[in-house]
Amino acid sequence: MAAPPPFSSSLGGGVIGRVENPMNTNDNVTDADREDRATMFRLYQERGAMTDKELVAAGISLESQARNAAPVAEMIRLHEMAEAA
């Protein structure tokens, strides 16, 4: 018997749907968020990890930090992987 397709339902056996965006991120990134992400990444490169208070002092609001922390962490991870290669 063949394996069920990914994300299949055990109730009906049909495919529930594709997961196009598994991190549930918003693909409509504003210019302000794009700028904050670039700033957060640059600050990490210059100073290393920073606290939320240090980022607020650098001009990144707590709301922006909440929206952009995961994408910036992914940028950092990918950058460090590329450097290690």
Q: Is 15 strand, coil or helix?
A: strand
Backbone angles phi, psi at 10, to 5 degrees: -75, -15
Q: Please tell me the predicted confidence (pLDDT) of residue 67.
A: 97
Length of the chain: 85
Predicted local distance difference test score (pLDDT) of residue 66: 97
Any idea where the domains of the chain sit in the sequence? 31-84
Q: What is the pTM of this model?
A: 0.67
Residues of the chain falling short of pLDDT 70: 1-27
pLDDT at 45: 96
The overall average pLDDT reported for the chain is 81
